[in-house]
Amino acid sequence: MEEHKDEENRVLVSPSPDENIDTNRHHNQPKGSDEATQSAFHDGPAPESCSSQSPKKPGTAGEDATSDASSAQHDFRDAESVQQVFINKLSQGRMRFGDRRSKRSEQGIVGTGVIDTAAPFESVKEAVSKFGGIVDWKAQKAVTVERQKNVRLELEDVEEELPEFKRKSEAAEDAKARVLKELDCTKRLLEELKLNLEKAQTAEAQAKQDSELAVLRVREIEQGVASTESAAARAQLEVAKERHTTAVADLAEYSTAASREIEKTVEDLMLELITMKEVLESAHTAHIEAEEQRINTALAWEEDKIRWDYELKQAEDELAQLNDQLFATNELKSNLEAASALLLNLKAELAAYKEGKTADEERGTEEAQRTIRESLALTTKELGEVKSSIEKAKDEVMCLRVAAVSLNSDLERENAALATLRQKEGLATLSVQSLEAELNRAYTELEFIQTKENEARDKTAELPKELQQAANDADRAKSVAQLAREELNKAKEEAELAKAGAAKESEKLALASIKTLEESEQAASLEPGSPIGVTLTVEEYYTLSGKAHENEELANKRVISAVEQIKVAKDSEARSLEKLEEAHRKIEESKNALRVAIEKAEKAKEEKLAIEDELRKWREEHEQRRKASGAAQGLAEFPNFASEEETCRVIGPLSPRVNMPRDHIQNAVPEPKMRKRSFFPRIVTFLARKKAQSLK
């Protein structure tokens, strides 16, 4: 159908090449390929229309941010695949175009003779330009930038919404936790209700069993069955025995479980006590070590302080000597000035004397002048030496002043460090004392807990005995009640029998009295000498009736005594129940004491952990202080760089104990005083070393 339509729409007259290409572009492709080509080669620069299958619409602000980001990342990859798509589409179009052209050429040869003047495709670029499919990459880049901006805005919106969603999620988590808590509470309530239901069911079953036994017993009593032969009494006795055995087994299991838990807690507390003792011993050892180290540092500091005071005194003595030398040089200077003035006067006199003297006198004057010149040369030489010594003394005084200032600053710094160290040691002692107080308090609490546990253990050990005694009391009360019931039943039966006997006897007496009356009447009506039956007098009748009443009263008394015995049995049973309740209450008290002991043990454990943390921190601080004190233990010995001439004028050297370790300072012997050496090179090296340390 498509080929027939293309043949109808084809121009039969030889058209221009452009028109032929245009008609081929519009008619020589299938509908699907035409739509794909139009969607691929449109003039618009939208990057979404560059895919090979179906065009994509640009993303809006409501689309998902991740899909937009992925599409923005894949835009250039899709654009790179456009060329391959073009080639595929154009190759398909050319193949179809060639097939149809061959078919039409065959048809033209056979029928109409259609001439196809279409130029072949020389390059992909030319074909794309003819189809109008050149893409504007700048516009596409702008669109991608806009899409990236949109994606960034959406990401910013998502980041802004993240805290709200986090808050909502936290609220949901809180609600979930509350719901789980309520669920746990409801589960606990359900378990309690189940237990209560089971208890109620057991109580109901026991009540039904008791009611059935009571009904059976009533029927037996109505039927007149004896208590010894009663099946209901046997069944009741068996049921009571079973209940007693189950109660004793439950109480034994409960007591054994409680005793096991108490033993376990006692073992845990003993282990914790052992660990606390170990921690306390380690703390004591650390405290003793700290005290020893503090004492050693204090002794070393005192020795260093004494040594520094001694060196400072030496420096002050040297300074005083230098001041004396300076004073002497000043005196020499004044003497030199006086000598120079005298020399000038002598020169003036010499000039005057030269004018008025003769040649002989000039010879004498020359000798005098020579002597004066020699003395003047000596004085100038001495003056130069004095000046050089003054300059050296000034330099040494300046160096000594610098050294004194540095030593004073070092002394002040060391005093400040010692004060801080003493303050820290005081704080450490206070912390150790507080830790010891807390440990003592923990010991007292543990002892109290142990006493409570021993009491609870004794109570739990006594509980089975009390339970056994209560069970025995309950058995005795039940046996007494059973005996009382049997006696009551016997008394009731005897009373009933007595009543029946009394009724029969009264009936017999009544019948006898009636017969006697009838016989007396008959005798009265008959002749007086006829024989008559046995007659009873009124006294005998009353005696017989009195005996019947006495028997009835005895039966009533027996019934009353049986009722009293039943009451006594009920009272004993109530007392046994009270003892059982008291035993349960003691068990609850032991449970509470155990719970309190466990809580105290947990508190002691927490306090122990806190104490361990404080001890660890204290040890770390102590290690840091020890390292800092070890780094600044002493000053190094200053080497002497002076020359042989400078070693002749001396000041004593520093003590070699500066470089000694602090452990050897205590055992050091005072050294003999050696000859003095120059102090200036040692000061220079000291300042150089201080500068190097400050640079480090």
Q: Where are the domains of the chain?
A: 2-171, 232-514+537-631, 634-665+672-696
Q: Which two tokens mark 88?
A: 């595929």
SS3 state of residue 651: strand
Q: For position 526, what pLDDT does the model report?
A: 54
Q: What angle do CA 472, 475, 477 make, to 5 degrees?
A: 110
Tell me the pLDDT tens digit for each residue of 460-500: 667 667 767 766 776 776 777 677 667 767 766 776 776 66
CA dist 593 and 576 (Å) reads 25
The residue ranges of the chain whose pLDDT is under 50 are 1-65, 69, 72, 97, 101-111, 527-532, 634-679
The enclosing H or E element of 311 equals helix 231-356
What are φ and ψ of residue 677, in 5° steps? -120, 170
Closest residue by Cα to residue 294 from 418, 384, 394: 418
Q: For position 42, what pLDDT does the model report?
A: 40
Tell me the pLDDT tens digit for each residue of 532-584: 455 656 677 677 777 777 777 776 777 777 677 777 767 777 777 777 777 77
Confirm if 269 and 453 have CB atoms less than 8 A apart: yes
CA dist 669 and 546 (Å) reads 132
What is the rounded (10 degree) CA torsion for 26, 28, 31, 37? -60
CA dist 450 and 484 (Å) reads 49
Q: For position 534, what pLDDT does the model report?
A: 52
Q: In 117-168, at which residue ranges do the beta strands (DSSP E only) sit?
A: none
